[in-house]
């Protein structure tokens, strides 16, 4: 466990997305004995449900927004964070993306440590980079931030899905009504409300996807951020958010628009078909280096994704998925150790 000075240092962590809870959760548990930790969160039902499930205390200081309301919501969020930081007096502040953290940390004299793996979050990156003290990115990240950038051999998802951190619970099958030998696909649909998703696109027709996947004899379970067409609503899976990774680990295949969940599936050894016009360094590398993810971009992405998915489910496309996962785990680090090194200034992981 990292050690702080005899006087407990104070760490402020900002959560803006459910995946950020997973990213920091193990680091929080290892640090909270030596550090006083304060968690602030933008109000997201899934994020707060996860924080509750893991037993973390937190303060809600902002609401999610999109479109014209985004700038006003961001300004209010930063103002509330500044007020909270002045009361808490952090030594270190951290977030994923972290434009607000980098600004507020500068104002209160704290060190800002920002993590990012999303190149197309161009506005956030532009607002964050001049003010952040350190910017930690995967080695495969395409953008450059100069001397303050620290690259590491890992992915965000390995902070919580590395084999040293996560063991799947197969009882998830019973929880969602699946037989022990039943093949199933997790189909993920996103809301496209995030600012960095502007202008992007994914699956054209969810009904078509369900029909073609089910025609292979495979059960389809849908996880979606928004409403579903009436004819596929009964495929929506209803599970506690913290059990989603158990479901991904048990699945035969992941098909979806979300890069995070595609990468989560891949590092668990479940092949992932990622259907989205946006691509990132980590999705490119997981495909090129390990073959655990299929990037389906461009105007024919919907058809391409379905063709790949059908080939995998039919056995026409076969790879040693578990062997590829083992190689990934051999070559990449446990990202929680990276987080600990970054936040404590230890420098070793």
Q: Which domains does the chain have, with CATH numbers?
A: 9-163+334-344 (3.40.50.2000), 172-331 (3.40.50.2000)
Q: 3-state class of 104 per DSSP?
A: helix
Q: Sorting pLDDT into bands at 50, 70 and 90, what band is 226?
A: confident
Q: Which residues touch 306 (CB under 8 Å, ≥6 apart)?
A: 208, 209, 212, 213
State whether the Cα torsion 195-199-200-201 is positive or negative: positive
What mean pLDDT is predicted for residues 198-211?
A: 80
Q: Sorting pLDDT into bands at 50, 70 and 90, what band is 1?
A: very low
Q: Sorting pLDDT into bands at 50, 70 and 90, what band is 214?
A: very high
* Mean confidence (pLDDT) of the chain: 92
Structural contact between residues 98 and 128, judged by C-beta atoms closer than 8 angstroms: yes
pLDDT at 16: 92
Q: Sorting pLDDT into bands at 50, 70 and 90, what band is 6?
A: very low
pLDDT at 66: 55
pLDDT at 273: 98
What span, in angstroms and rounded, lies between the C-alpha atoms of 58 and 55? 10
Confidence check: pLDDT of 3 > 50 = no
Torsion of CA 286, 290, 293, 294, to 10 degrees: 100
Q: Alpha helices of the chain — where are they, by DSSP H?
A: 18-31, 45-53, 69-88, 99-108, 122-128, 158-161, 172-175, 206-214, 244-250, 259-267, 281-285, 301-314, 321-331, 335-344
Confidence check: pLDDT of 197 > 90 = no
What span, in angstroms and rounded, lies between the C-alpha atoms of 283 and 262? 8
Q: Sorting pLDDT into bands at 50, 70 and 90, what band is 200?
A: low
pLDDT at 202: 73
Q: What share of the chain is helix, strand, coil (3-state, %, to 5)?
A: 45, 20, 40
CA angle 54, 59, 61 (to 5 degrees): 130
Count other C-beta atoms under 10 Å from residue 346's C-beta: 12
Structural contact between residues 145 and 129, judged by C-beta atoms closer than 8 angstroms: yes
pLDDT digits (tens, 9 = 90+) for 73-103: 888 999 999 999 999 999 999 999 999 999 9
pTM over 0.95: no
pLDDT at 131: 98
What span, in angstroms and rounded, lies between the C-alpha atoms of 192 and 200? 8
Least confident of 3-17, 176-190, 220-234, 288-302: 3-17
């Amino acid at each position: 466990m990292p050690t702080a000075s005899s006087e407990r240092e104070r760490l402020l962590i900002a959560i803006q997305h459910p995946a950020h809870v997973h990213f920091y959760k193990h680091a929080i548990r290892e640090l909270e004995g030596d550090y006083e930790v304060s968690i602030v969160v933008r109000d997201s039902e899934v994020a707060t449900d996860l924080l509750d499930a893991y037993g973390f205390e937190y303060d809600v200081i902002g609401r999610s927004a999109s479109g014209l309301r985004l700038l006003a919501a961001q300004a209010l969020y930063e103002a509330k964070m500044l007020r909270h930081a002045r009361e808490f007096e952090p030594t270190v502040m951290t977030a994923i993306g972290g434009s607000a953290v980098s600004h507020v940390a500068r104002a209160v004299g704290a060190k800002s440590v920002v993590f990012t793996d999303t190149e197309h979050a161009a506005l956030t990156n532009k607002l964050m980079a001049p003010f952040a003290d350190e910017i930690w990115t995967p080695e495969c990240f395409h953008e450059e931030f100069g001397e303050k950038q620290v690259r590491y051999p890992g992915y965000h998802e390995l902070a919580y899905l590395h084999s040293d951190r996560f063991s799947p619970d197969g009882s998830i099958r019973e929880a969602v009504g699946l037989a022990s030998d039943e093949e199933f696909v997790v189909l993920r649909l996103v809301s496209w409300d995030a600012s960095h998703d502007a202008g992007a696109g994914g699956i054209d027709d969810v009904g078509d996807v369900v029909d073609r996947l089910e025609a292979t004899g495979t059960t389809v379970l849908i996880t979606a951020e928004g409403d579903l067409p009436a004819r596929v609503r009964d495929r929506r899976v209803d599970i506690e958010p913290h059990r989603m990774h158990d479901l991904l680990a048990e699945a035969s295949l992941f098909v979806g628009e979300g890069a995070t969940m595609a990468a989560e599936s891949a590092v668990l050894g479940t092949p992932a078909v990622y259907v989205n016009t946006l691509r990132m360094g980590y999705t490119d590398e997981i495909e090129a280096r390990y073959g655990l993810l299929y990037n389906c971009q461009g105007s024919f992405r919907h058809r391409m994704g379905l063709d790949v998915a059908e080939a995998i489910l039919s056995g026409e496309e076969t790879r040693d998925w578990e062997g590829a996962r083992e190689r990934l785990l051999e070559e990449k680090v446990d990202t929680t150790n990276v987080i600990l090194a970054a936040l404590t200034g230890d420098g070793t992981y």
